[in-house]
Structure 1
Amino acid sequence: MADDEPVDLNAWATPPGPFRLSWTEEVLRDALKYARRIEERPYEIFLQGSYANETNIDESSDVDLVVLLKLPFEENVDALDAHDITNFNERYEQDPYGWRQFRAAVIASLKESFFVHEGDKTAGIQDWDSLVRVPADILPAIEYRLYSGFPSPGHEIYEEGVFFRNGAQQPIVNFPKQHLARGRKKDFDTGRRFKQVVRIVKRLRRWAIKNNEMTKATIPPYFIECFLYNVPDGIYRSDTPAQAADGAIECLYEWCHDDRPAFEALPCQNGLIPIFGDGPDQWEAGRGVSAIDALSEAWAKLPK
């Protein structure tokens, strides 16, 4: 039976307390420098996921960090003409070093300083002396470039993403920096309502799982954020977070049932990858409809 205790939706919209993410990032950076396995390679460390997007609902949830090799990189040059391809080939040479070697070097470096659990995509770390305040998931990746132009050897136009492989060695491309930037703009354009609603719906998911209204597999938090990103800004400009959440859930429900083609064409928050497709990080459209139905039913049952 569902929990009948009324929930405070204003509290659900509020982020948890502040957390010094820099502590985790600095400890990771120091560990990689100490091991000296990748010091000759240009790399970057940055946050992704709910902490970076400020949509986390727990202070203790894992921090997601990317260790990104900058050169060499993976590329998509399908949009380039013959002239641009020539410029690309003049600018860059093949390098046998790639994602597999970089990932192996990063994992070996982490093992010198942390307890490491290797997962399907990331390596989970915990610090021996608790300097890392919460567990962290580390994604070793290499830069991915989605080219739209290369008019001269010194002038290239592309979107920067990340490339890695899962445990089945399927290639995965994502664009976490664009996801972050577009989420920030959406939040600003909606008077800070967008991220409030994301937190509410993430907590709705947790409530529904606790009360056996859905399972964790029904809808991952990442897709909650992507679906809600596509809701028109005007729906979020409501008097309260609860009203905005109600409008957003209703919008998604009507979308998937009344305009299925538009629903199936929705992009991820990064604006570059469709939510639905046959890629290893994409969804089947029918599963998306089932997820929206489950969220709508849970919202109707939630004691407010």
Structure 2
Amino acid sequence: MPIAEAQLDTWSKQGAPGPSRETYAAVKKILEDTAAPYAGKNPEVFLQGSYGNDTNVARDSDVDAVALIPTTFAHDAATLSAEQYQAFENTYVGPASYSYSQYKNDVLTWLTSKYGNGVRSGRKAIYIPAGQNRRECDVLPAIQYRRYYHFRSAQDQKYASGICFYLQDGTQIVNFPKQHSDNCTTKHQSTNSWFKPSVRIYKNMRNYMIERNMLAEGVAPSYFIEGMLYNVPNDRFGTSFEDTFVHTYNYLNSADRSRFKCANEIHALLGTSSVTWRAENCVTFLEALKALWISDMK
């Protein structure tokens, strides 16, 4: 039987933002301290993830912050025409004097000096443990990434500005969190404020299933749930949460999902790269959602 509207309404609610907001403010202040060893690189600190996009639910306990420096950047300029790439190389001669690895190490050293030896470098981000009046926090040191459309000179260039970081094995990860956040906000406005509550419903359904061994952890990351629903036409949202789930789910189940884009509108949603969702995991999630919808939830 369908899940009751009252339950869907409960699942649509945003998790309490207070402790996370306070954690972020405190960490941001430390990261932007003018005494930090990287302070001269003009660091910009901002939220990403569920708290940054207002799609957080009760189970979301940590805070994800990006510490971006624009003075060092990676790029895809080699994909431009030979003439434009030569103009790029003539403008930007030689490697950056301040590498990503040096920057990440400086951030790690600085945070350790402020929060103690519980701070550690993970596969992607630097982890700050929970403390007094502080939630867990992941800080992602990142450099700018430029996805070029053209380059004729330093005064005549066009690119999408994203973030770039490297895993411990050297794998480069590129993403566009600001575009993701801006587009999700536009989607929310275009659906008369139904989009973000609907994302929270899908996320809470995922969490409910994980807790009851109906779905494996990691099959449906929050980022990809947002991206999946971003592709649903605006007119499938609204009237009630029950109608919204039915109409969005039916669209997702029947659509050509190979054409879906991430909410940043740059990356494909489904694929095999490090920034895409495996198509089989999307199918597994949709099948689990259907099973939950027709169950009695006991």
TM-score (norm 1): 0.87
Counterpart of 1:137 in structure 2 is: 138
- Between the aligned partners of 2:263 and 2:46, the Cα distance in structure 1 is 18
Matched, 1:265 2:264: no
Matched, 1:45 2:48: no
Matches within 5 A, 1:128-167: 130-131=132-133, 133-167=134-168
Aligned to 1:288: 282
Amino acid at match of 1:289: V
Tell which deviates more after alignment, 118-127 or 197-206: 118-127
Cα RMSD, aligned residues only: 2.4
Alignment correspondent of 2:10: 11
Question: What is the distance in 1 between the residues matched to 2:149 and 2:127?
Answer: 35
Q: Which runs of 5+ in 1 are unaligned?
A: 256-261
Amino acid at match of 1:14: K
1:6 Cα deviation after fit = 9.0
TM-superposition CA deviations, 1:81-122 (whole Å, max 9, x none): 344334423433332422111111111111001131322111
CA distance in structure 1 between the partners assigned to 2:124 and 2:114 by the alignment: 20
Residues 141-195 of structure 1 deviation map (CA, whole Å, 9 limit, x = unaligned) = 1110001022432132111111112233211111100100000000000011111
Q: Residues 237-288 of structure 1, C-alpha deviation per residue, up to 9 Å, x if partnerless? A: x211221122111211222xxxxxx312311111101122232232332232
Map 1:243-258; keep pairs closer than 5 Å: 243-255=243-255
Contact 1:79 1:149 in 2 (8 A): no
- Provide the residue aligned with 1:258 in structure 2: none
Q: Select the residue among 118, 122, 130 that pairs with 1:119.
A: 122
- For residues 22-61 of structure 1, the aligned pairs below 5 Å read 23-32=22-31, 33=33, 36-58=36-58, 61=61
> 2-side partners of 1:60 and 1:265: how far apart?
29
- Contact 2:17–2:51 under 8 Å retained in 1: no
Cα distance, 1:266–1:302 mapped onto 2, change above 3 Å = farther
Count of matched residue positions in the alignment of Structure 1 and Structure 2: 292
TM superposition outliers: structure 1 runs of 4+ over 4 Å? 4-7
Task: After superposing the two structures, state which structure 1 stretch, 282-291 or 209-218, moved more.
Answer: 282-291
Alpha-carbon contact 2:130-2:137 (below 8 Å) kept: no
Corresponding residue number in structure 2 for 1:219: 220
Secondary structure at the aligned position of 2:67 is classed as: strand
Q: Tell me the CA shift for residue 207 of structure 1.
A: 1.1
Tell me the residue number matched to 2:207. 206
Report SS of the residue matched to 2:276.
coil
Separation in 1, partners of 2:179, 2:276 = 17
Aligned counterparts of 1:6 and 1:21: Cα–Cα separation in 2: 28
| Higher mean C-alpha displacement, 224-233 vs 211-220 | 211-220
- Amino acid in the other structure paired with 1:101: Q
- Pair 105,265 (structure 1): closer, same or farther in 2 beyond 3 Å: same
Q: 2-side partners of 1:162 and 1:169: how far apart? A: 16
Query: Structure 1 stretch 272-281 or stretch 75-84: which is displaced more?
Result: 75-84
Distance in 1 (CA, whole Å) between partners of 2:286 and 2:23 is: 35
Q: Which amino acid aligns with 1:135?
A: E
CA deviations over 1:196-247 (Å, ceiling 9, x no partner) = 11000101011111222112122122211111111111101x2112211221
Tell me, yes or no, if the aligned pair for 2:19 and 2:135 is still in contact at 8 Å.
no
Instruction: Give secondary structure in 1 for the equivalent of 2:40.
Output: coil
Superposed CA deviations along residues 38-76 of structure 1, whole A, max 9, x for unmatched, are: 122222111100001000002861111001121120011
